[in-house]
């Protein structure tokens, strides 16, 4: 991008640019929405391919500009977005009919949400940009990027590179754009523009709250503060290795990276030994207090100068002597909260360390940690006890509970079967609209064609004559038939005796009373060889139901008395036949 990319001081230029870019994106949105699936997939595939080709160069640019993280790990994150996430979203159908529910006669059709305002952080600038562009384009949504002021150049150059790839593949001009005059006021103006339909916000809690208060649908993700619990049945060697791998990946910049270790007292010495052997350094009380003052600001936030730095750099800055091969710093703490500054999210290779009596106390401690800045986000449990693992799944206020894997990599779907994503919803616990890993599905509205399955005339009939699967308690079919016969006799009608048909009820079979189905037609053979079905003189709803269950018709003539409920049910299923019909043998 040109050298003009900068942070605006008074915010006026940034606000003006936000308005212009939102308007341009809004103009491009209908053109992008009209693309067919083949065109969309070609655009997304080309963008992913170009991002993968430049993954290392973009990683180097991000580290050089921000001073955060490790080039090799940022390269892996860029490739994760450009390859793993792309492979996941590639087969998704996001245009036209996406599902048919034949049994319900419902057809689902994808509709793009609209223009996306995407806020990109300085901690993961290029990988988050790649990811948000891919899912927006896959959903046919135009997108405007608002970069963090300290990562303008790396984010804007990523956008420029991928915009060209998208346009070359058929995307409309202005379907992708990026603010280069950046300020808090400009970002807020972008989110509030009427042309914006949805917000993808990744950053601090202030930004996320601003996104949710912008008056638009928003997916916002803030701090993680993920605890990792090591239960007594765990493979201690692997558990420690996983935690160190997660915490040191890009120097702990992902919001789902481990921030605390909670250990059963029975295995605490073994865990300490493994940490020391694998590059961990345990701080004493004085060193812990020193690090707390240097790493955590009076506002309770990580010191920006130490975010994303290595453990040795942080120790040196704090005046603490550690071995040169130190990978993580561990601070033993007695509690969680303001009196224990290092119990909060730290965004660097520093872990707080707790010992507990058993899994129940461990469960409580993990809840305390999550409540202190990580509600709804992520945690890990290292255990071989399925019962304990399930208890953590049931009771922890986190929507990603990773089992025997690093939280950093497991939460984003790199080492687990979770949807690959760089934006992780925290659900109601974290004040988010969803607990999902965000994908193109969250940028699509679904409209539905719904065909009639319950005609109004039948619903009205069922209200007048509700169909019961069995007679009301205390009222048997035999009793109903007897009472109907008695009523007919008072009106001068006499039911003719018919051959007795089997009843479904064994007790009724043994009764001497006539069967309620005696009125249902039975066939007899004539001298001419035809089968003649005898007509009946009375039909109740129960007779129709029995005929349906036995796949039979009922023969009636003009003199047959039919109850209204029987008439409705028989008409619905075509049960009646008139006496003029005959069937040849």
Which tens digits make up the pLDDT trace of 337-385? 999 999 999 999 999 999 999 999 999 999 999 999 889 999 999 999 9
Q: Is residue 56 part of a domain?
A: yes
Q: Is residue 1 part of a domain?
A: no
Residues 260 and 215 in one domain: no
Query: Which residues, 6 or more positions from 507, have their beta carbon under 8 angstroms from its beta carbon?
Result: none
Joined tokens for residue 479? 């009793």
What 3-state class would DSSP assign to 353? strand
Q: Is residue 394 part of a domain?
A: yes
Residues 17 and 130 in one domain: yes
Q: Which domain, by its residues, includes 467?
A: 456-578
Q: Can you give the pTM of this predicted structure?
A: 0.77
**Average pLDDT rounded to a whole number, residues 529-551:** 76
Residues 204 and 234 in one domain: no
**pLDDT tens-digit map of 61-83:** 999 999 999 999 999 999 999 99
Q: Is residue 169 part of a domain?
A: yes
- Rounded to 10°, the helix 125-138/71-79 angle is 0
From residue 182, alpha-carbon distances to 178, 179, 301, 379, 424 in Å are 10, 6, 23, 34, 25
**Average pLDDT rounded to a whole number, residues 499-520:** 39
Residues 232 and 174 in one domain: no
Q: Is residue 311 part of a domain?
A: yes
Q: Is residue 86 part of a domain?
A: yes
Which residue's entry shows tokens 């690959």? 420
Residues 232 and 212 in one domain: no
Residues 365 and 512 in one domain: no
Residues 18 and 158 in one domain: yes
Residues 372 and 485 in one domain: no
If one counts the domains in the chain, the total is: 3
Residues 212 and 74 in one domain: yes
Residues 362 and 488 in one domain: no
Q: Is residue 420 part of a domain?
A: no
Nearest to 440 by CA among 131, 97, 51, 128: 131
**pLDDT tens-digit map of 2-35:** 333 445 456 899 999 999 999 999 999 999 999 9
Active site positions, annotated? 255
Number of other residues whose CB lies within 10 A of the CB of residue 324: 5
Last-in-domain residue among 432, 450, 468: 450
Residues 48 and 83 in one domain: yes
Q: Is residue 436 part of a domain?
A: no
Nearest to 214 by CA among 196, 226, 232: 196
Sign of the CA dihedral 294, 299, 301, 304? Answer: negative
> What is the pLDDT at residue 542?
84
Q: Where are the alpha helices (DSSP H) in 386-499?
A: 386-395, 407-411, 456-464, 477-490
Residues 97 and 161 in one domain: yes
């Amino acid at each position: 991008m040109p050298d003009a990319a900068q942070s605006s001081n008074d915010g006026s230029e940034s606000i003006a640019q936000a308005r212009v870019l939102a308007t341009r994106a809004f103009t491009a949105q209908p053109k992008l929405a009209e693309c067919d699936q083949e065109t969309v997939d070609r655009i997304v595939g080309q963008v992913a391919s170009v991002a993968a080709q430049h993954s290392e160069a973009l990683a180097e640019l991000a580290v050089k500009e921000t001073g955060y993280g490790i080039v090799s790990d940022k390269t892996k994150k860029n490739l994760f977005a450009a390859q793993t996430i792309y492979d996941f979203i590639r087969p998704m159908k996001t245009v036209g009919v996406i599902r048919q529910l034949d049994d319900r006669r419902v057809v689902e059709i994808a509709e793009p949400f609209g223009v996306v305002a995407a806020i990109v952080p300085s901690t993961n600038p290029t990988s988050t940009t790649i990811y948000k562009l891919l899912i927006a384009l896959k959903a046919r949504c135009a997108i405007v990027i608002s970069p963090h002021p300290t990562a303008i150049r790396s984010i804007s150059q990523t956008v420029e590179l991928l915009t060209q790839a998208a346009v070359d593949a058929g995307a409309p001009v202005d379907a992708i754009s990026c603010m280069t005059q950046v300020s808090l006021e400009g970002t807020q103006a972008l989110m509030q523009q009427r042309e914006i339909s949805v917000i993808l916000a990744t950053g601090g809690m202030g930004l996320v709250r601003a996104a949710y208060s912008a008056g638009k649908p928003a997916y916002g993700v803030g701090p993680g503060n993920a605890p990792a619990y090591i239960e007594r049945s765990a493979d201690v060697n692997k558990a420690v290795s996983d935690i160190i791998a997660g915490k040191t990946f890009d120097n702990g910049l992902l919001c789902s990276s481990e921030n605390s270790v909670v250990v059963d007292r029975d295995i605490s010495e073994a865990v300490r030994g493994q940490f020391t052997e694998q590059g961990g350094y345990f701080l004493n009380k004085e060193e812990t207090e020193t690090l707390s003052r240097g790493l955590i600001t009076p506002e309770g936030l990580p010191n920006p100068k130490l975010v994303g730095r290595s453990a040795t750099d942080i120790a040196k800055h704090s005046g603490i002597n550690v071995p040169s091969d130190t990978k993580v710093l561990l601070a033993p703490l007695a509690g969680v909260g303001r009196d224990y500054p290092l119990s909060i999210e730290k965004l660097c290779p520093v872990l707080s360390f707790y010992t507990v009596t058993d899994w129940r106390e461990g469960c409580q401690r993990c809840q305390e940690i999550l409540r202190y800045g990580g509600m709804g986000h992520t945690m890990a449990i290292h255990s071989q006890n399925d019962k304990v693992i399930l208890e953590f799944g049931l009771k922890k206020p986190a929507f990603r509970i990773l089992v025997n894997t690093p939280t950093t990599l497991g939460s984003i779907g790199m080492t687990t079967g979770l949807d690959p994503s760089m934006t992780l919803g925290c659900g109601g616990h974290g004040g988010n609209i969803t607990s999902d890993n965000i994908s193109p599905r969250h940028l699509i509205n679904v409209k539905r064609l719904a065909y009639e399955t319950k005609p109004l005339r039948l619903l009205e009939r069922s209200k007048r004559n509700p169909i019961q699967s069995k007679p009301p308690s205390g009222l048997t079919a035999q009793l109903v038939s007897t009472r109907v016969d008695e009523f007919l006799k008072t009106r001068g009608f006499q039911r003719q005796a018919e051959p007795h048909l089997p009843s479904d009820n064994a007790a009724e079979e043994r009764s001497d009373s006539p069967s309620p189905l005696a009125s249902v037609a039975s066939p007899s053979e004539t001298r001419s060889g035809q089968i003649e079905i005898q007509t009946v003189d009375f039909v109740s709803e129960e007779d129709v139901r029995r005929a349906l269950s036995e796949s039979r018709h009922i023969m009636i003539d003009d003199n047959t008395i039919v109850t209204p409920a029987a008439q409705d049910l028989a008409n619905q299923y075509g049960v009646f036949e008139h006496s003029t019909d005959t069937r040849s043998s």
